[in-house]
């Protein structure tokens, strides 16, 4: 699958390209990769490439790694192999679909010549699509392997074709296809019963998520949210951690940082102005929160996003 023009730069991974480097790094620490570039999270609507495009460079094996703010969907159409998700090994066959939540450690071992696609979505796009679909976001927020179907295969094939093209309204079409893909995957996961339908305190989690959407600009603490929900802060964090793997405090920071990233990417506002718009009295504190969640400062994030080699 070819990519036109400057799109060839959009998926330059910092994953090592030599198998000797791969084995050396696998023996040390789990690597964290940003597949859109070193720390560039929003260069395109999404990314889609064949399984072979990257796997063939690594002898069809990808050692354990994670993607901090990228969600991936991998669909096999021919061949096979195995995936490790958070240490659990699952065999893969044609039409296997792998959902990889942001931050989860994963590794692949493919049979040579395996065919299929890897679709990668930035957290911003996922957040926009699933803003009013909390149950779907929670379902897709855990990694799993299920049997795909012809409908999912056809949508992914359409995404691959559209991604390689540069026709008018490309971004709009890709967003629509991504929405359809996420819905079909969530439905298939529910049918396969890989997602618990009645999570403990799921009603509390839904209420927290709804409240967070309306109050995040007010910088409420965990205690503030717990008080509004008539529970203790400890219980609220216990519920969010059980469902998402993250404490309530992290989800609060993550929500406002997601808004900050959108402002940094899609507006010309100064960083201090963005901080003020998001309710931070101190731009330096805003930078500390942003760096804690994303791993880079607001200035670095914007500079890398609009570097000449990464700009679309």
Domains of the chain, earliest start first = 5-191 (2.60.120.280), 202-305 (1.10.10.60)
Radius of gyration, CA atoms only, the chain: 20
pLDDT at 2 over 70: no
Question: Which of the four pLDDT bands, split at 50, 70 and 90, describes residue 194?
Answer: low
* Residue predicted with more confidence, 13 or 273: 273
pLDDT at 84 over 70: yes
Burial of 277 from C-beta contacts in 10 A (0-12 / 13-18 / 19+): middle
Give the pLDDT confidence score for residue 70 in this predicted structure: 86
Least Cα distance to 117 among 65, 162, 63, 172 occurs for 162
Q: Are the C-beta atoms of residues 76 and 115 closer than 8 Å to each other?
A: yes
Report the percent of the chain where pLDDT is more than 90. Answer: 50
pLDDT tens sequence across 280-312: 999 999 999 999 988 889 999 888 776 654 332
pLDDT tens sequence across 246-280: 899 999 998 899 889 888 887 889 999 999 999 99
Interatomic CA distance for residues 102 and 100, integer angstroms:
7
pTM of the model: 0.66
Mean pLDDT over each residue of the chain, to the nearest integer: 81
Question: Which of the four pLDDT bands, split at 50, 70 and 90, describes residue 210?
Answer: confident
pLDDT tens sequence across 39-67: 334 457 899 999 999 999 999 999 888 88
Give the pLDDT confidence score for residue 205 in this predicted structure: 83
pLDDT at 163 over 50: yes
* Residue predicted with more confidence, 6 or 242: 242
pLDDT tens sequence across 140-152: 888 899 999 999 9
């Amino acid at each position: 699958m070819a990519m036109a023009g400057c799109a060839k730069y959009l998926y330059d991974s910092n994953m090592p390209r030599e198998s000797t480097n791969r084995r050396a790094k696998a023996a040390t620490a789990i690597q964290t990769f940003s597949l859109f570039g070193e720390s560039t999270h929003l260069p395109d609507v999404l990314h889609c490439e064949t399984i072979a495009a990257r796997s063939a460079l690594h002898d069809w094996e990808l050692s354990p790694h994670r993607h901090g703010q990228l969600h991936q969907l991998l669909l096999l159409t021919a061949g096979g192999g195995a995936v490790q998700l958070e240490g659990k090994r699952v065999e893969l066959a044609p039409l296997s679909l792998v959902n990889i939540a942001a931050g989860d450690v994963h590794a692949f071992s493919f049979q040579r010549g395996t065919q299929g696609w890897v679709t990668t979505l930035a957290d911003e796009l996922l957040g926009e699509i699933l803003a009013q679909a909390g149950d779907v976001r929670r379902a897709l927020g855990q990694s799993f392997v299920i049997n795909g179907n012809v409908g999912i295969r056809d949508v992914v094939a359409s995404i691959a074709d559209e991604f390689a093209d540069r026709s008018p309204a490309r971004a709009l079409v890709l967003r629509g296809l991504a929405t359809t893909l996420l819905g079909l995957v969530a439905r298939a996961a529910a049918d396969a019963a890989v997602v618990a339908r009645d999570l403990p305190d799921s009603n509390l989690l839904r209420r927290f998520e709804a409240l967070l959407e309306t109050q995040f600009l007010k910088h409420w603490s965990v205690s503030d949210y717990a008080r509004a929900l008539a529970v203790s802060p400890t219980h609220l964090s216990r519920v969010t951690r059980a469902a998402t793997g993250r404490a309530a405090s992290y989800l609060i920071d993550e929500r406002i940082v997601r808004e900050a990233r959108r402002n940094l990417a899609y507006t010309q506002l100064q960083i201090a102005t963005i901080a003020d718009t998001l309710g931070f009295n101190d731009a330096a504190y805003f930078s500390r929160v942003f760096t804690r969640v994303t791993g880079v400062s607001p200035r670095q994030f914007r500079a890398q996003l609009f570097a000449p080699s990464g700009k679309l």
